[in-house]
Chain A
Amino acid sequence: MINRRNLLQSGVGAGLVLGASGMLPAWARSASEGNLGIPALAGKDFDLSISSFPVRINGKAGMATGINGSVPGPLVRFREGDDISVNVTNMLMEDTSIHWHGLLVPFQMDGVPGIAFPGIKPGETFNYKWNLAQNGTYWYHSHSGLQEQLGHYGPLIIDPKDADPVAYDREYVLVLSDWSFESPHRIFSKLKKAGPTYNYQQRTLGDFFEDVSEKGFGQTLQDRAMWNQMRMSQTDWADVTAATYTYLINGRSTQDNWDAVFAPGERVRLRIINGSAMSIFNFRIPGLAMTVVASDGLNVKPVETDEFQIGVAETYDVIVEPKEARAFAMVAESIDRSGQVVATLAPRKGMRAAPPEMREPVLLTMKDMGMGGMDHGAMSDMPNMDPAPMPGMDGMDHSMMPGMDHSAMPGMEGMDHGAMPGMEHGGMSGMEPMGSMDNLAPGVERGPGVVGIAMNPVNRLDEPGQGLGNVDHRVLRYSQLRSLDRNPDLRAPEREIELHLTSNMERYMWSFDGVRFAHIKEPIKFYKGERLRLTMINDTMMPHPIHLHGMFFDVVNGGNDHKPRKHTIIVKPGEKLSVDISAEHVGDWAFHCHLLYHMHAGMMQVVSVLDEPNPHASPMPDMMKTGGMNMEGMEMEGMDHSKMDHSGMSGMDMPNMNTGENK
């Protein structure tokens, strides 16, 4: 598979010379440079070369590591069903790799060193080959070291074999990213030494007095005391911020202004890819509504919105129809609001949209601390704290279903763990995350790497992107997404895996279930052909874009047989959400938080899809008999965590709650 070449004699050398000028690929070149759309670099055979080269960003010279001499790398575009061959040549002094993000390639072509292949050594060329039955907007990037931070990423489009259900007159790719002139290893080591080092939005004495004049001394003191007592910061939105980052759209800062043109009345398709190392963005085009038509490469039923949050590695395709002949600002604002990047969508080349003023940063809430619903004041205000008004719960009582097995009833998990724990703790004394909370998460290895377990995680799929609750326009919610196509696998999950996202910000330790990747005892095992539910609980104070290679997540958001299918999903702080997965592709697959330094600190695992008899195979029928429940008729959707959202146990009134008993 790997063959050595004499690089100087190959065409790659020429590409490097070109790259040395820091030239952008044609598709990322501004309209002002003559690019009116995306040149279709369609083909079946691609040559990519990875090297280090100088770039100029915001007028300042830096060194990038990237593909074919540009940041981002070239648009790789091919047709669904074609036999594709990509030669990747490593011209670096260290190993490299390319992972095809969201592509369901054979696992040995997935490009993760140490998991899917050995990596590409200096001077070597690796030949990737595949033939895919999927289409849409994707991207590709290095999975070696911290190369992603240095510019080693690019967009990828698979054109549909048949007619595209999305009609458009013109299209652009927007790769959002974060650039730093600091070395990524330096950034990582600074985070290890002093976690909040890049946070210049911390609470100050001035904020304290402001709060006092607003809320009074007692309330302010009480609020501050709660966070400070727990050694948590209400401003912990992002580990790495605009203090070191220059945010980019297609390799351009606001100053460098990437611009695209449109003719009024045209339907313009924007394929937006978050290729950042660490930055979750809020994307909007003030004055222009966006119709979301695809997410993570797969078509969704069109939904109109004004803003959406896009996690690292997520993609959204939107259609905009600008009618006025004026310049529109395409704004990607980092989640912590420390910075933004603006590109221009205009009727003529060379125009520059006026960047909107930066919005005020907001503060994290009690819900982000894993105490959903507890931020409304006194405990007595909270209906979910009192078991009495929840008759539906009786049906869920384990004692009444002796034969009931957790693993067999994925849909029910949310009932006893997710929604209820808060009830067991009468007073605010239960705030200390350490202590008697161990029973909340028996699967989590407690130790210096785990500060706490979310006491009352809630489903937040029906909330807008974190921090966007108070903007005065529409914001996309995951619960709004519906797959355009009916889901390919409609089986109910046979078992559930519960996974906690855990951390200690102070030591900059990040992990799954309290175990850093370096210390795992075994991978997560899936068995070929099984359908399972993965429930993730975010015990940390930060949102994590979680990505599983080789499989899509069917997001359990109330979408029945049209659940949106995603390769990457943001799990908000204090959230408990579920995705269903069909384990089809045998192999070892990487599974990790797509925030680069979280992955580097240990928030990663391997999912091994094994071609072995499934030891968990169908306990379902037995249980149905024992419990006297008609599982067939029991609509799992009724149990969706998405409907159990927020503070109030509104989900408790759901008629479906009782179905198990009544049917």
Chain B
Amino acid sequence: MMRIKIVSSIAAGLAMSGFAFGMPAFAQQEGNQQGTQTGEEPLWSQADAYYGTAEMAKAREEVLHEGGAQSTYYVLFNQLEAQSADGRDDLYWNGQAWYGGDINKIWFKTEGKSSLNNGDVEDAELQALYSRAIAPYWNLQAGLRHDFKPDSLDYAVIGVQGLAPYFFEIDVSAFLSTEGNVSARAEIEYDLLLTQRLILQPRIEANLSLQDVPERMLGAGLNNIDAGLRLRYEIKREFAPYIGIEWQGNFGDTKNFIQATGGETDKTVFVAGVRTWF
């Protein structure tokens, strides 16, 4: 009963935010259409008398579009790294990409881990979100998440991403799985400039669950924390190799579940990788 209530309220929240957003980013044409709309008065038109309305209308639309309605794309692999601990090597990735205007964007996020010892993919997820700028430094995001591994599972996602005072990058998301489970994730990172190109990045990621999900080895409450320090050198701003260290620990029932199966409940890994964007 309790669970159903939460599910329905989150679903309602998603639906409402959907209404507030209107069309998704990719369906929305940012910018002012008044330059061309027939029947509507153009914003200015004194040159039409010299060059004709049709030709001016087209040029008017173009000059308006070029004044802040352009779309941009961005692809970032914040982490693309080998993680090593006790003879076990994994490939870990954490990246995102967006496309759109200043306010509305379509936003993808992916995270996952694959063993470098035997090639097995342990975790892999992809989120497809609609993102809307709601404040100078904050985006509200909503959409879907699909886990490919450990097993196929879908979620609804709602989250907030942005830049907090003191330049902390924040990404907080809540997930509602098709099985009715609610979980959340928070990521915080900071860039500490040692020099103009040598940058130390402390980063914390925490996962939480609202309920026990034994089949996925998740306990209610705080599941795990990854706390890392990565030192990168920006050969170019867009390309920065790094090394680092990360502590990965589990908590509460999550820890108990792992202990029961004889797994590692916490470990420290050494990482080496590249941060790159384009």
Chain A interfacial positions (CB closer than 8 Å to B): 1, 107-108, 112-119, 145, 189-190, 192-194, 197, 200-206, 225, 228-231, 434, 447-451, 504, 506-507, 509-511, 516-523, 586-588, 599-602, 604, 606, 608
Contact = CB atoms under 8 A, between A and B. Distances in A.
B137 interface: yes
A144 B6 CA distance: 54
State which size class the interface on B falls in.
Answer: 35 or more
26 contacts: A108-B47, A108-B51, A114-B63, A115-B44, A189-B73, A192-B72, A192-B74, A193-B74, A193-B277, A204-B195, A231-B137, A231-B165, A231-B166, A448-B102, A448-B103, A448-B135, A451-B136, A511-B68, A516-B69, A516-B102, A517-B63, A518-B31, A519-B31, A520-B43, A586-B46, A588-B44
Contacts, number: 148
Interface of B: 30-32, 35, 43-47, 50-51, 55-56, 58-70, 72-74, 102-103, 133-137, 163, 165-167, 192-197, 237, 277
A194 B199 CA distance: 15
A517 B43 CA distance: 11
Contacts of A511: 68
A518 B47 contact: no
A480 to B, nearest CB: 35
Interface core residue of A197, A448, A510, A606 (most chain B CB under 10 Å): A448
A179 B8 CA distance: 57
Given A119-B59, A448-B136, A507-B133, 8 more contacts: A113-B59, A206-B194, A229-B166, A447-B133, A516-B69, A518-B32, A523-B44, A601-B67
A434 B137 CA distance: 11
A642 B244 CA distance: 54
A518 B59 CA distance: 13
Contacts of A518: 30-32, 64-69
A194 B47 contact: no
Nearest to A189: B72
Contacts of B61: 114
B136 A113 contact: no
A205 to B, nearest CB: 5
Nearest to B55: A118
A517 B64 contact: yes
B67 A600 contact: yes
Given A516-B102, A519-B32, A205 B192 contact: yes
A118 B194 CA distance: 51
A192 B73 CA distance: 9
A205 B193 contact: yes
A117 B64 contact: no
Nearest to A599: B67
Contacts of B102: 448-449, 507, 509, 516
Given A115-B44, A189-B72, A516-B102, A145 B196 contact: no
A1 B50 CA distance: 9
A554 B74 CA distance: 44
Contact of B62 (A114, A450, A602, A606): A114
B167 A231 contact: yes
Contacts of B136: 434, 447-451, 504, 506-507
A279 to B, nearest CB: 19
A600 B68 CA distance: 6
A465 B196 CA distance: 26
Contacts of B44: 115, 523, 588, 606, 608
Contacts of A203: 193
Contacts of B63: 112-115, 517
Contacts of A112: 63
Contacts of B196: 200-202, 204
Contacts of A588: 44-47
A504 B47 CA distance: 33
A229 B168 CA distance: 10
Given A115-B44, A448-B135, A602-B68, A206 B195 contact: yes
